[in-house]
Structure 1
Amino acid sequence: MQAKLGAVHPTTGKGALMASPLLATQPAFSDLAKDFRDGSRSPRDYLELCIEAIENREGLVKAFTYYDFEQARERADASSRRYAEGRPLSPIDGMPVGIKDIIDTRDMPTEMNSSIFIGHRPLTDAACVRAINEGGAFAIGKTVTTEFAIGRSGPTTNPHNPEHTPGGSSSGTAAGVAAGMFPAGFGTQTQGSIIRPASFCGVVGFKPTLNSLSLNGVHPLSKSHDHLGVIADSVDDAWWLARWVSEYAPEQCHPGLSGPLQGPVAPGKPANLAVLRTNGFEDLDATSLSAFEQQLDALRLDGITLVEPENDPLLQALVDALHDAPERSLELLAYEMRWPFQDYVEKHPNMVGERIHGLMESASRMTRAQYRQLLIDQYQLKERLQALAGDYDAFILPAASGPAPHGFEFTGSRRLLVYSTLLGAPAFSVPRMTAAGMPFGLQLVGFPGQDYHLARQARWMTQRN
């Protein structure tokens, strides 16, 4: 049985997680599939555990903008009947799912933490929401996001310590999973907004290869950067949800994810890992860096070959090329945000936050030639990455610059997270470390299209002693 990673996870770092009554205690959803089939438990039973967690913890965690228990119970009951009749629709049948509030839901408001969209009710569901409905899963509610997933923070707190940020922008989804309010939910990442909050909240974050999951019905930021992904209580739950959405709501002109649609993710021990030791490591404090180095030492003892950039010229060339990746990423993001954000700024200037105003100002100073060069640079980075595909199973680096910062205005550095986004490569955050009594994730970055291979390695990492 997989551990409920929001509650307890292993670490080789010194110290331990601070105990918190806000953390999840129930098993991962995927662990209960057998119980659902033999009738010893039902999806309705599971949903009631989630509702109890919401009722007990939401007042302090503030993960939701909206939830609908009545609708959720109706759908859980329908799922329970299907299991009793031996005909579940999918491995996620009966799963309560948190929906980040930049994703359209016709049954619930989609407000995007923006005054412009207060009370907004889309006419249709986003493709990912429709996909989960077809698989028998259902939205338990809408989760807090930063403004349009790029601007001012929301009210959500970190269940490990409510005086700390849960990270942005998928804050509500990460905190909701960690608090046991639902086993998995959708997040989006345009720079670091799946991997970072998963790291801060001590749960699993999965950002698939660019365009593997449909973004239809998700408010856009940057065509070259936007990823839909999953934050979950286990690697299995993350994979099941992402894999189902990819199968039944594929992005246009993209093959989507490959790999099994059901059954546990088979753990896969990596043979060779490249340490992506970029200048982003400068953001790590001594305690966080020590925790990461201890992880590397433990992996070496497990017989895994870890290669540092100075020992591989091609790896060093990639690291060197990523030196100013965060700055280039932000320039691309700003330029591609002009639609629709320029209209928002011009028509509703007092209803848009300072960060978005600033990004639009930056975009106004860019030329088409500069944008074209940024795209060329991005393509060349992807070529450098692909040149290493035969040498390594994955890249390894911290999933954030340390544990969650105190307070809520600063949601954490994006530097170590931008790389996989700019490269369009799959990434996982798995909760393997602690620092200052708070969780701190280990990040695995794979090669585009090799998402299941990466998921197997992430699964292996979570079961290590």
Structure 2
Amino acid sequence: MDAFRLNWLTAGDAARSIRDGAISSEQLVEACLARVREVEDRIQAWQFLDPEHALNQARARDQDRREGRAVGPLQGVPVGVKDIIDTMDMPTEDGTVLHAGRTPADDATVVAILRAAGAVIMGKTVTTECATYTPGKTRNPHNPEHTPGGSSSGSAAAVAAGMVPLALGSQTNGSVIRPAAYCGVYGFKPTHGLISRHGVLKLSRTLDHMGMFARTLDDIALGCEVLVEGDAHDPDTLMRARIPFREIATEEPPLPPLIAFVKTPLWERTDEDTREAFAELTDALGDRVVEVDLPDIVLDALELHRTIMEAEMAAALVDEYDRGRERLSESLRAQLERGRRVTAFDYQTARARIPLLNDGFAELFERCDAILTPAVAGTAPKGLTSTGDPSFCTLWTLCGMPAASLPLLQGANGLPLGVQLVGQRHHDARLLRTARWLVTQITGGEPQDG
């Protein structure tokens, strides 16, 4: 196997090759580190990366295999971890100078699960400030003059650039779907509460989701299969039977899916490229897509989301504001100050609307398998002072619905243009199956980078 290309292996293929003895984890990690050395100066995806520590983990995984110990589904595979997710052996600084040098005593639940599955924790990927709007140093791998999106900037860029096959992110508004769309990779935000957030920087219990990035849907399904489990430390997770994500995601649908094309009330924000691309996409789907207008109840989703997010952020980051407000960005400081002014009545009223919104989608999902909608208004904006508009993700995050970004389209400028596919709550594996069908219909097969 060509060692120069090892860094472009999918997570699933890499794990199989390591289990079969075709390659070693050390070889794979060294190939990924070589790619980091090649492109990191231009992309700047990593907040913390100790090559020797990554290689030592890989050597330990190889020794496990040689000595006949049990190997996991991600045995020896390097994974990037967003720098708001606690790692006991690496700093977790949350994108803020207020947490500089912070090294947690324990792993976040998702990190502990990854280690148990045999993964190598490659390093910590760049996040925006406290996973909000102020950008970090990361640049778009397709054109470094453009934003990679946020807040999971480094994770999306590292996967897109071939530095790791899989990376973790989080989403409170559009922080997985948007960077996946801008960087041209698969991004997945599961149903709210499906993956534990214990040991992850808390912004909003109501809205925080874990998520992931990969270059194939197979790897997204693999990541879900590994990470989805109940956690007593996260009260929004559920103890449930194992979900066979990979099996379901690769099944042929019993009937050709019917897709609801939803422009949303934000359609006028889209670029001409986006409108033209979606016209071609829906034409290609023919009678398997139907345009659907959303009920009026969704019109105030942006304001509901903002009320909940900023109120809960103000409570979650009270110490940071009280001790170091002058060292926070103007943007974050303004969010926290608005959040402190939200009344209990407005907050509780906003939260009470979420079940009503989900009830409003119940009839649609009785007829349709998924919702097709823009992930972003257009391709990644030029400049590094903003991470782009997250509003095309807001409604689905507010409702806690699973969503995927699929790298199916391209703008006239040659940059990726993601397609968002949204599913019914707790039907995540079915959404991945529908996503696979859609990709196959449009491309004739699943595109892979590299």
TM (norm. structure 1) is 0.88
**Count of aligned pairs between the two proteins:** 433
Amino acid across the alignment from 2:43 = V
Please point out which of 431, 436, 439 is paired with 1:459.
436
| Pair 1:443-2:420 in alignment | yes
Please point out which of 42, 48, 65 is paired with 2:30.
48
The question of whether the paired residues in 1 share the 8 Å contact of 2:84 and 2:201 is answered with yes
The question of whether the paired residues in 2 share the 8 Å contact of 1:39 and 1:84 is answered with no
Q: SS of the residue aligned with 1:279?
A: coil
The question of whether the paired residues in 2 share the 8 Å contact of 1:204 and 1:428 is answered with yes
| Pair 1:274-2:260 in alignment | yes
Amino acid across the alignment from 1:38 = D
Q: Encode CA deviations 1:320-379: one digit per residue, 9 max, x unaligned.
A: 222221222111101111223233222212111111211122123321111111011122
Please list, as runs of the form range in 1=range in 2, the aligned pairs for 1:279-294 lying within 5 A after superposition: 279-294=265-280
- Residue equivalent to 1:122: 104
Q: Encode CA deviations 1:130-159: one digit per residue, 9 max, x unaligned.
A: 110111102100010000001411010000
How far the C-alpha of 1:33 sits from its partner, in A, is 4.0
Amino acid across the alignment from 2:218 = D
Q: 4+ residue runs of structure 1 moved beyond 6 angstroms?
A: none
Q: SS of the residue aligned with 1:242?
A: helix
- Residue equivalent to 1:309: 292
Q: Which moved more, 1:209-218 or 1:238-247?
A: 238-247
Amino acid across the alignment from 1:412 = G
Please point out which of 299, 303, 306 is paired with 1:323.
299
Q: SS of the residue aligned with 1:185?
A: strand
- Residue equivalent to 1:295: 281
How far the C-alpha of 1:116 sits from its partner, in A, is 0.7
- Residue equivalent to 1:17: none
Taking structure 1 as reference, are residues 98 and 366 closer, same or farther at Cα in structure 2, changes over 3 Å only?
same
| Pair 1:411-2:397 in alignment | no
The question of whether the paired residues in 2 share the 8 Å contact of 1:96 and 1:182 is answered with yes
Please point out which of 396, 403, 406 is paired with 2:372.
396
Taking structure 1 as reference, are residues 431 and 261 closer, same or farther at Cα in structure 2, changes over 3 Å only?
closer
Amino acid across the alignment from 2:399 = L
Q: SS of the residue aligned with 2:421?
A: strand
Taking structure 1 as reference, are residues 341 and 307 closer, same or farther at Cα in structure 2, changes over 3 Å only?
same
Whole-angstrom distance in 1 between the partners of 2:23 and 2:6: 18
Whole-angstrom distance in 2 between the partners of 1:217 and 1:262: 27
Taking structure 1 as reference, are residues 175 and 264 closer, same or farther at Cα in structure 2, changes over 3 Å only?
farther
Whole-angstrom distance in 1 between the partners of 2:185 and 2:389: 18
Amino acid across the alignment from 2:420 = Q
Please list, as runs of the form range in 1=range in 2, the aligned pairs for 1:52-451 lying within 5 A after superposition: 52-83=34-65, 88-247=70-229, 251-252=234-235, 253-255=237-239, 259-260=243-244, 265-266=249-250, 268=252, 270-300=256-286, 305-309=288-292, 316-317=294-295, 320-435=296-411, 436-451=413-428
Taking structure 1 as reference, are residues 273 and 116 closer, same or farther at Cα in structure 2, changes over 3 Å only?
same
Q: Which moved more, 1:272-281 or 1:139-148?
A: 272-281
The question of whether the paired residues in 2 share the 8 Å contact of 1:268 and 1:459 is answered with no
Whole-angstrom distance in 1 between the partners of 2:112 and 2:374: 34
How far the C-alpha of 1:262 sits from its partner, in A, is 5.7
Amino acid across the alignment from 1:327 = E
- Residue equivalent to 1:14: none
How far the C-alpha of 1:256 sits from its partner, in A, is 5.8
Q: SS of the residue aligned with 1:323?
A: helix
Taking structure 1 as reference, are residues 309 and 110 closer, same or farther at Cα in structure 2, changes over 3 Å only?
same
CA RMSD of aligned residues (A): 2.1
Taking structure 1 as reference, are residues 438 and 447 closer, same or farther at Cα in structure 2, changes over 3 Å only?
same
Taking structure 1 as reference, are residues 84 and 171 closer, same or farther at Cα in structure 2, changes over 3 Å only?
same
Whole-angstrom distance in 2 between the partners of 1:237 and 1:84: 25
How far the C-alpha of 1:291 sits from its partner, in A, is 0.8
The question of whether the paired residues in 1 share the 8 Å contact of 2:218 and 2:246 is answered with no
The question of whether the paired residues in 2 share the 8 Å contact of 1:430 and 1:461 is answered with no
The question of whether the paired residues in 2 share the 8 Å contact of 1:99 and 1:139 is answered with yes
Q: SS of the residue aligned with 1:431?
A: strand
The question of whether the paired residues in 1 share the 8 Å contact of 2:81 and 2:124 is answered with yes
Q: SS of the residue aligned with 1:299?
A: helix
How far the C-alpha of 1:27 sits from its partner, in A, is 2.6
Amino acid across the alignment from 1:296 = T
Q: SS of the residue aligned with 2:367?
A: coil
The question of whether the paired residues in 2 share the 8 Å contact of 1:244 and 1:261 is answered with no
How far the C-alpha of 1:192 sits from its partner, in A, is 0.2
Q: Which moved more, 1:322-331 or 1:23-32?
A: 23-32
Q: Encode CA deviations 1:107-147: one digit per residue, 9 max, x unaligned.
A: 11111111111101111110100110111102100010000
How far the C-alpha of 1:98 sits from its partner, in A, is 0.7
